[in-house]
């Protein structure tokens, strides 16, 4: 069975992966698993084991193996959402979900899939347990995070984010800065630069293409902003990538 996902995998996938987007109606046992998860309580793992043992989860395909994979995707989606609702970073949660789903896609037995489901719930529960509870964000700020993450490839503005959330600009600007420590525009820039760093370190995508992907007006503008943010040019930063 494939091993647990690595930090390198998480960082590499952040700029290319998106949540699977599959929804699944939860049973009472599902909800218990996710309530434990949101509390950072490893009883979430025991609850999932009981659900697996009872054969719960629904039927989405006549083929048992395909059915197990579909149920895993739904569970991963819900687990990621549960973790994000209590403050887990949106990109990290979505990326982890994608990587677990990719691993399961290659599996050839229901037993392997069930083991990975347990590993996935344990991963998210431990991530939640490690959160600084003082930094749990309000629903509107989490909605802003989601919108920014899913629109990094577009020339979005602070006003676009505020319009999506649906509250007044003055109120939300104050709330966002209070909870994150930076303004909305600065946060958008930060996330674009983090994505650029990932692409430079863990891919061979040309500089001009990275600039285009991240909605910069030109490669020179991208290089200027990147150097202001990191102290290095994109070329220098890429050369700093570990050789292994």
Token pair listed for 60: 């989405």
For residues 32-53, average pLDDT: 87
What is d(CA 101, CA 115) in angstroms, rounded to the nearest whole number? 13
DSSP secondary-structure letter at 197?
Answer: H
Give the rounded percent of residues in the chain with a pLDDT score beyond 70.
81
- pLDDT at position 145: 85
Distances (CA, A) of 42 to 80, 126, 143: 16, 8, 27
- The DSSP secondary structure of 179-228, one letter per residue, reads HHSS-HHHHHHHHHHHHHHHHHHH----HHHHHHHTT-S-HHHHHHHHHH
Do residues 125 and 40 lie in contact, with contact meaning Cβ atoms separated by under 8 Å? yes
Kindly tell me the number of DSSP H helices and DSSP E strands found in the chain: 13, 0
Binned at pLDDT 50, 70 and 90, residue 194 comes out as: confident
pTM of the model: 0.56
DSSP secondary-structure letter at 135?
Answer: G
Q: Which fold has domain 139-239?
A: Arc Repressor Mutant, subunit A (1.10.10)
Count of Cβ atoms closer than 10 Å to residue 122 Cβ = 16
Tell me which of 25-29, 138-142, 228-232, 235-239 is least confident.
25-29
- pLDDT at position 9: 54
Q: Is the pLDDT of residue 34 over 90?
A: no
Q: Is the pLDDT of residue 103 over 90?
A: yes
pLDDT tens profile 111-126: 999 999 999 999 999 9
Q: Is the pLDDT of residue 241 over 80?
A: no
- pLDDT at position 91: 84
Phi, psi of 125 (to 5 degrees): -65, -45
pLDDT tens profile 127-143: 999 886 556 678 898 88
Do residues 223 and 207 lie in contact, with contact meaning Cβ atoms separated by under 8 Å? yes
Query: Residue ranges of the domains in the chain?
Result: 7-133, 139-239
For residues 147-161, average pLDDT: 90
Q: Is the pLDDT of residue 3 over 60?
A: no
What is d(CA 10, CA 55) in angstroms, rounded to the nearest whole number? 31
Q: Is the pLDDT of residue 190 over 60?
A: yes
């Amino acid at each position: 069975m494939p091993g647990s996902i690595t930090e390198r995998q998480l960082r590499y996938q952040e700029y290319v992966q998106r949540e699977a987007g599959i929804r699944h109606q939860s049973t009472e046992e599902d909800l218990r698993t996710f309530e434990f998860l949101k509390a950072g309580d490893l009883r979430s793992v025991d609850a999932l084991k009981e659900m697996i043992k009872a054969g719960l989860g629904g039927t989405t395909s006549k083929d048992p193996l395909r059915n197990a994979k579909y149920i895993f995707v739904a569970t991963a989606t819900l687990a990621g959402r549960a973790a994000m609702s209590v403050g887990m970073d949106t990109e990290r949660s979505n990326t982890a979900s994608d990587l677990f789903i990719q691993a399961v896609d290659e599996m050839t037995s229901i037993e392997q899939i069930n083991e990975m489901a347990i590993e996935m719930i344990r991963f998210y529960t431990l991530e939640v347990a490690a959160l600084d509870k003082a930094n749990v964000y309000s629903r509107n700020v989490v909605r802003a995070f989601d919108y920014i993450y899913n629109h990094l490839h577009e020339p979005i503005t602070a006003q676009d984010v505020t319009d999506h959330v649906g509250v007044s600009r003055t109120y939300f600007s104050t709330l966002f800065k209070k909870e994150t420590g930076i303004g909305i525009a600065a946060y958008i820039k930060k996330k674009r630069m983090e994505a650029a760093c990932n692409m430079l370190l863990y891919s061979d995508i040309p500089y001009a293409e990275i600039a285009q992907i991240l909605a910069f007006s030109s490669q020179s503008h991208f290089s200027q902003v990147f150097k202001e943010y990191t102290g290095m040019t994109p070329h220098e930063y890429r050369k700093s990538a570990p050789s292994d």
